Amino acid sequence: MLRICLARRGADDRKNFKDVKGGLPRVSFREEMAGELKTSRTTIWKGIKSLQKSGYTVEGSPRLGYRLLQIPDLLYPAELSEGLQTEIIAKSPALIHHFLQVDSTNNRLKLLAEEGAPEGTVVVAEEQTSGKGRLGRSWVSPRGKGIWFSILFRPSKPLEDISVFTLLIAVAVARAIKKKLPQIDAGIKWPNDILIQGRKVCGILTELKAEADRLHYLITGIGLNFNSVRADFPPELQKTATSIFLENNGHPLSRKEMAGQILREMDSIYRKYLNNETEEILSLWKAHNITLGKKITIKSLRESFTGKAVDIDRYGALIIAGPGGDKRRFVAGEIIS
């Protein structure tokens, strides 16, 4: 609240005092802010201290007031929710849970889901100590280097519609990257890896709780390598992984803006999903995919199969034409080459 008050007053004063140099203008006297926020001067002072402890640079002068100089690139709820205008996902800051460190945002969100957290709840962390990847792998998630977050969904849908759901998440991430960095070609490798120039920049892990044919909830975890440099990846991934920073020729970008764009895209495509606009989602996926039309080898639980990826069906399954023209359908698996 205090942070919003400082920023708003900064913006108002910028309009009035165009000649202020360096940072946001000095705007807020403790008394004035205390009045506006209906609290005491001591509470304002404590709030300022706590903002500073959280990484905000606030300059204070007993005579002139406070000035917000710098906002940290941390994914705090107040920052992430600013200007989001989503209808379901993170529709209020209270739905965003931020942690400096967690084992895994998926695990943490699962605890909240079990306690009855509403659809659209988001857990975001600066660092994960046991980030989880697909197929039981781990996901390297160093502090501040990526966008590591998970979102809770509670759609009233039959279990057979879940595969399309996993596709829509990848579409949202690919679209967000395209919007923020139009010059970068981010493509979806079936089912939902995001690659740039053949290297993986983002992985998506969807976990669910269901019984018989009733879905309780879905948790989708997104790991987008953002600020990582080559040395941040383990040696075995250095040739196959990349980050937004690396692909943007070493020019830094705001994590908050990218995370916000992903949430916005996801909110909009998820609403299509709820409206049964499956065809539209499949065609968006196809527009961003880099798998169809290629000769690939897929490894499923039972076998490896090589052929040409020709289509995906309405359930998101991959259709592969074998050397003899015979078509095979894969609902799960990993494309290994």
In the complex, minimum distance from the CB of residue 55 to ligand BTN, in angstroms, rounded to a whole number:
22
> Which residue is nearest to ligand BTN, using beta carbons?
203
Q: Which of residues 178-197 bind ligand BTN (CB under 6 A)?
A: 193
Angstrom distance (rounded) from CA 72 to CA 256:
10
Q: Note the helical H segments in the chain.
A: 2-16, 30-36, 41-53, 77-80, 105-114, 162-180, 244-247, 255-274, 278-288
Figure out which of the listed residues 10, 25, 120, 221 binds ligand BTN, where binding follows CB under 6 A. Answer: 221
Q: Which of residues 137-166 bind ligand BTN (CB under 6 A)?
A: 137, 139, 141, 148-150
Q: What is the DSSP string of 208-245?
A: EEEETTEEEEEEEEEEEE-S--GGGS-GGGTTTB--HH
CB of 48 or CB of 202, closer to ligand BTN? 202
x-marked contacts with ligand BTN along 118-137 as a string, rule CB under 6 A: ----------x--xxxx--x
Nearest by Cα to 118 from 151, 156, 163: 151
Binding of residue 233 to ligand BTN (CB under 6 A): no
Q: Which of residues 200-219 bind ligand BTN (CB under 6 A)?
A: 203-205
Number of residues that bind ligand BTN (CB under 6 A): 21
x-marked contacts with ligand BTN along 89-118 as a string, rule CB under 6 A: ---------------xxx------------
Q: Give 42-46's long-range contacts (Cβ < 8 A, gap of 24+).
A: 44/2
CB 63 within 8 A of CB 73: no
Tokens of 195: 């690659």
Say how many residues make up the chain.
Answer: 337
Figure out which of the listed residues 10, 47, 191, 223 binds ligand BTN, where binding follows CB under 6 A. Answer: 223
Note the residues at the interface with ligand BTN (CB under 6 A).
104-106, 128, 131-134, 137, 139, 141, 148-150, 193, 203-205, 221-223
